Amino acid sequence: MKYLRLGIMTLCFAMISGCGVWDYFFLPLPEDTAQELYENATDAMREKDYATAATYFQRIKDNFPFSPYTLEAELSLGDAYYLDEDYPMAADAYKEFEMLHPGHALIPYVLYQIGMSSLKSFRSIDRPTTMLQEAVEYLTRLIDMHEDTEYAAKAVAAIARCRALLAEHELYIGDVFWNSGRYGAAWRRYSYILDEFKDVPEIYRHAEEKSLAAYYRYREEQSRETRERVEGSWKNWFHWL
């Protein structure tokens, strides 16, 4: 009975003190504050655990849209994805930042990072070049709108890299046509390189040589087809006689 009375008294005391025992065992733990999440994110960035950092930055965006840490988290989210080499996600995060804060002082940096994320998303010259075209678009905007910034100067070199890859892609397609004996299609593709990529001299020279060869083979092919049609019509005429 002594122990029973002691247990009842303890329970009553816990209830009087605000049900602390109940709260401790059954209520969910309080969520981290925006500041705590931001500190965890920056610690993860320092440790190069970029995936974890991105998770923290995303939680700040989702749960604390009006926090003073949110704007920094929005930009840092793109940086975390970029450093983690998740370039499509990085591009999306930077684009969202530009959409939400078009007048921010770091927009030149954001445009440059979008361009670089798009460039680095491109994997091989035998794949579609949509990301390269997007990279050129954003980098050109950067140069046009913020030409006096350090990022505009970097953008010039990045555009040159994009243009070289675009030219290599076109050359690859031309060579595919050439190797399959489709000389007319190859000639048109090489001619396109000559029209559009004078700024990529190495590819231009190669396309110039292949364009002439493809044109001559294409004309020979056309002449042979013409002769065959004419000869066929004569044979049909004699057969009718």
Helices 130-145, 107-121: axis angle to 10 degrees equals: 160
CB 117 within 8 A of CB 94: yes
Comparing C-alpha atoms, which of 137, 171, 136 is closest to residue 157? 136
pTM over 0.85: no
Q: Which residue has the higher pLDDT, 234 or 136?
A: 136
pLDDT band at 221 (very low <50, low <70, confident <90, very high): confident
Q: 149 is written with which tokens?
A: 């910034």
Q: Report whether pLDDT(216) > 60.
A: yes
The 10s digit of each residue's pLDDT in 60-109 is 999 999 999 999 999 999 999 999 999 999 999 999 999 999 999 999 99
pLDDT band at 32 (very low <50, low <70, confident <90, very high): confident
- C-alpha–C-alpha distance, residues 43 and 57, integer Å: 12
Residue type at 45 in one-letter notation: M
